[in-house]
Structure 1
Amino acid sequence: MTHHLLYHKVYPHPNSSQWVVFVHGAGGSSSLWFKQIKAYKRHFNLLLIDLRGHGQSSQLVKEWITHPYTFDAVAQDVLNVLHHCQIPKAHFVAMSLGTIIVRKISELAPDVVQSMVLGGAVIRFDLRSQLLVTLGRWSKHLIPYMWLYRLFAYIVMPSRLQKESRHLFVREAKKLCQKEFKRWYRLTAEVNPFMRYFREKDESIPTLYLMGDRDYLFLSQVREIVMIHQKSQLIELTNCGHVCNIEQAERFNHHSIRFIQGCLN
């Protein structure tokens, strides 16, 4: 089991019994939480994870070559780390496609998830997103994957205010090999079917959506789902795009930490 274990890093708190697990999005790594660590470790024990094929878990690619890439499998990777670290339950903070991984964890092991903070949440691919994904699916064998990833980064994060986010995600994506990129890209076909199920099921887990008010691809869907799910709430961060934990880090930290602390009362 341990030779399949994802790379992870623990920041223990001397007094708190509460754990926060950070789950990054596709093409990123745990290093993209650098603006959260200092604020969070004042209050909680932290567990940062590099998903399969990403960051320092990229060294383990050979371990998964013969295994399918599904949201179930990627979610189980994370649960294996929690089991290894002897963490029975935790609060989860996720960004972008990582929010789907956390929702899948809440389906597979609901008792493990105390609360969810979902930043830049992906609820479904609308027509524009589906066209983008289809374009990528057709061209991923014809053009270098980094060209494709840079195009996606500019479409999802188009403004000058999002320059830092684009740079960081492109930098991290360079650590993925082309085969690994294609494996993750195939997961996009699972997004709408799984999220259709999630929209219909009202989770009993307290959930905070943190979205930039300029996240034009995904914000409208989050507004819709918050109207349906009773234990969900939405905070929109002004002058902010998709990667809100980087673009508006202080406000992201303030709202998310206060939300988690409120779940303890």
Structure 2
Amino acid sequence: MLHHVIFPCHNKFVEKYMVLLHGFGGNHRVWKKQIPVLQEKYNVLAINLPSHFDGNIKLTELSSPSLSTISKEIICVLDKYRIKSASFMGVSLGTVFIKYMEMYFPQYVKNAVLVGAIGNVGNFLKRTVDVFSIIGNKLPFTLVYRVFSKVLMPMRCSKKSRKLFCECAKALNKYEFKAYMNVFKEHFSLVSKFSSQRHQENQYILGEWDKCFLKGAVHEARATCAKIVILKHSGHVCNIDSADEFNRIIME
């Protein structure tokens, strides 16, 4: 079973859950500023995705490196705690699995907060993922994830986000990195299908300096009739870049 941590609600009579899914290279530590706030109203279930966090299941150990396989692993954790429906919050890669579950396992997702959501992307990023999916296991991985973090989070406001990413990504390796590139490719093929659906229950929170994903995420949010908030002076991982403002918004 995927590694996960439960943070109980401060009110022991509360039964509802908020499920947290981190981004690529991260782990549940990316939510450290949000978890204490969320515990005021929710039991918080923070799940670490395959290949993330020491001792966790590896993506290459699963039957296939696909959205379906990983989503079913997430559902196994939910079923362990008899969670039939929950609120979800994901950042970056985490939003990919939330959207997949909304399409194929909708009974589990009551509503969702999509942070730095990955929607449609430009040809340059698609070609980069294509290349990494072929030769990702032949590159010096330490260099790769440092470059990767700089490409996704180039602005000065994202310094803390980059540092945390580089610390957490050490649990990955070049073989897991390559396998995840195929997951991204699968997601890109499903973007138009998700955008054709309505998801008024969703809330997108994006950083104005998210150079790679902002345009596609805004288009997706509008196409699905979801709500959008764009945070000033924030990059891709805006829950870290502007933690106080982000927390105010999610509690509202």
1:144-159 map, 5 Å: 144-159=140-155
Normalising by structure 2, we get a TM-score of 0.93
Match of 2:215 among 213, 220, 223: 220
Give distance in 2, aligned partners of 1:193 and 1:256. Answer: 30
Report if the CA contact (8 A) 2:130-2:181 is conserved: no
Aligned residue pairs: how many? 250
Q: Name stretches of at least 5 consecutive residues in structure 1 with no aligned partner.
A: 259-265
In the other structure, the counterpart of 1:126 is: 122
In the other structure, the counterpart of 1:60 is: 57
Report if the CA contact (8 A) 2:2-2:73 is conserved: yes
Report the secondary structure of 2:219's partner residue: helix
In structure 1, give the amino acid aligned to 2:207. G
Identify which range, 171-180 or 115-124, moves more after superposition.
Answer: 171-180
Shift in Å at residue 146 of structure 1?
2.3
Report if the CA contact (8 A) 1:26-1:97 is conserved: yes
Report the secondary structure of 1:53's partner residue: coil
1:6-21 map, 5 Å: 6-13=2-9, 14-21=12-19
Report if the CA contact (8 A) 1:20-1:91 is conserved: yes
1:79-118 map, 5 Å: 79-118=75-114
1:48 matched to 2:43: no
Report the secondary structure of 1:197's partner residue: helix
List 4+ stretches of structure 1 deviating above 4 A: none
In the other structure, the counterpart of 2:162 is: 166
Shift in Å at residue 125 of structure 1?
2.1
Give distance in 2, aligned partners of 1:206 and 1:148. Answer: 36
Give distance in 1, aligned partners of 2:158 and 2:248. Answer: 20
Report the secondary structure of 1:140's partner residue: helix
Q: Name stretches of at least 5 consecutive residues in structure 2 with no aligned partner.
A: none
Q: CA offsets per residue over residues 14-64 of structure 1, 9 Å max, x none?
A: 1322210000112111111111111111111110111111114x44339x6
Give distance in 2, aligned partners of 1:228 and 1:104. Answer: 16
Report if the CA contact (8 A) 2:27-2:49 is conserved: yes
Normalising by structure 1, we get a TM-score of 0.89
Shift in Å at residue 235 of structure 1?
0.1
Report if the CA contact (8 A) 2:6-2:44 is conserved: yes
In the other structure, the counterpart of 2:21 is: 23
Shift in Å at residue 138 of structure 1?
5.0
In structure 2, give the amino acid aligned to 1:60. I
